[in-house]
Structure 1
Amino acid sequence: MKLFGSYTSPYVRHCRIVLTQNNDKFEFIPTDYTQSAQQSPTQRVPFLHDGEVQLTDSASILRYLRERHQQPFCDDVADFDLFCLANTALDATVNLFLLERDNITTENSPYLQRQKDRVHSILTELDQRDWPQRETYSDGQLRLACFLSWAQFRERINVADYPRLQQFLLGMNHQPWFANTHPALS
């Protein structure tokens, strides 16, 4: 099994966590923008090759990895909604981050300001919830933690502005399988 991606990608990190938790043998192949544009129709990472199986999105990769071990992927609608909320915030934040590199900022675009507001709105909503401090986490919770960690690493959010989410992330950082995949370790 080959997982293509970057060490800093939160989408790739989520896949790496599941692979590690399940003790799956895999080869991680560092992949940049040019390589992903040539090797994946989505022109992004992660993508996975496992024999005849070729997947091009982290959600399909996660479902595949879970099914291989008879595990649920977002086993109920509430967890799937959490996964989608975290993914929406993550997608918006990644796009803002990449556009900022090209000097396209929220000051230049009402649409981008709406994306920034969307992230804050989602985080505010999620900060109202109670979060587990345990060793077994759902894929919705893992996606949220990968987003929070990446956004903090890239200085996109101040997680201290969201105290319950900050506590949730602190708890996740104590899990070896989460801490050992932190983007700063690449």
Structure 2
Amino acid sequence: MILYGSYTSPFVRHCRIALLSANIDFEFVDTDYASSSEKSPAKKVPFLQDGDLTLSDSSSILLHIKQKSGQAGFVDVADFDLFALANTALDSEINLFILGNSGVTPENNDYMLRQKNRVNACLEELNTIISSTTIAEHKYSDGQLRLACFLAWGVFRKRFSLEAFSALNEFLSTIHTWELFDATSPDKTS
């Protein structure tokens, strides 16, 4: 099994955590924009090759890992919704990050302003969700892992602060004590 991706990608990080926690042997190939454009029909990372099977989205990769290791998927619909909401915020923040590098910002583009407002609204809702969630030590659901990967990426890239979101800040601090999350940190692998 070969996972292609970037050490800094939050989507790739989630897949790496899933593979490590399932004790599945895999090769990781650090991939840049040019390689992902050539090798993935989605032209993004992650993508995975497992024999004749090629998967081009982190969600399908996660499902494949779960099925291959005999693990259950999402805990319930609320966990799936948490995963989806974290994905929405992450996609919007990545748009802001990448297009901002080209000078397209919320200050000069209405679509980007909508993306910024979406991220802020998602962070508020995610803070509310996590503040009422009980999390067993180092037993994280897929929704919680996607959220953690998003938050850690946002802080790593200095895209936002969690200062105003005490529950999210505490959640991120706690998950950083988990060996697998810590081991996949871009600070340690890049």
TM-score range, shorter chain: over 0.9
**2:187 is matched by which residue type in structure 1?**
A
Residue of structure 1 equivalent to 2:33: 33
Instruction: Please give the TM-score of this superposition, normalised by the length of structure 2.
Output: 0.95
1:135 aligns with 2:109: no
Secondary structure of 1:107's aligned partner: coil
- Measure the CA separation in 2 of the matches of 1:153 and 1:10: 10
Q: 1:160 to 1:133 in 2, by over 3 A?
A: farther
Structure 1 residue corresponding to 2:148, chosen from 141, 145, 148? 145
**1:45 is matched by which residue type in structure 2?**
V
Instruction: Please give the TM-score of this superposition, normalised by the length of structure 1.
Output: 0.97
Within 5 Å, which residues of 2 pair with 1:10-25?
10-25=10-25
C-alpha contact (below 8 Å) 1:127/1:165 kept by paired residues = yes
Query: What is the deviation of 1:75?
Result: 3.1
**2:80 is matched by which residue type in structure 1?**
F
Residue of structure 1 equivalent to 2:101: 101
Structure 1 residue corresponding to 2:159, chosen from 146, 156, 159? 156
Unaligned 5+ segments in structure 1 are: none
**1:52 is matched by which residue type in structure 2?**
D
Residue of structure 2 equivalent to 1:112: 112
- Measure the CA separation in 1 of the matches of 2:94 and 2:15: 17
How many residues end up aligned between the 2 structures?
186
**2:67 is matched by which residue type in structure 1?**
E
Structure 1 residue corresponding to 2:171, chosen from 161, 168, 172? 168
- Measure the CA separation in 2 of the matches of 1:128 and 1:5: 31
- Measure the CA separation in 2 of the matches of 1:97 and 1:82: 22
C-alpha contact (below 8 Å) 1:133/1:168 kept by paired residues = no
Query: What is the deviation of 1:133?
Result: 5.2
Query: What is the deviation of 1:101?
Result: 0.8
1:183 aligns with 2:176: no
Unaligned 5+ segments in structure 2 are: none
C-alpha contact (below 8 Å) 1:74/1:83 kept by paired residues = no
Give structure 1 regions of 4+ aligned residues with deviation exceeding 6 angstroms: none
- Measure the CA separation in 1 of the matches of 2:67 and 2:39: 25
Residue of structure 1 equivalent to 2:51: 51
Percent identical pairs in the alignment equals 49
- Measure the CA separation in 2 of the matches of 1:114 and 1:159: 20
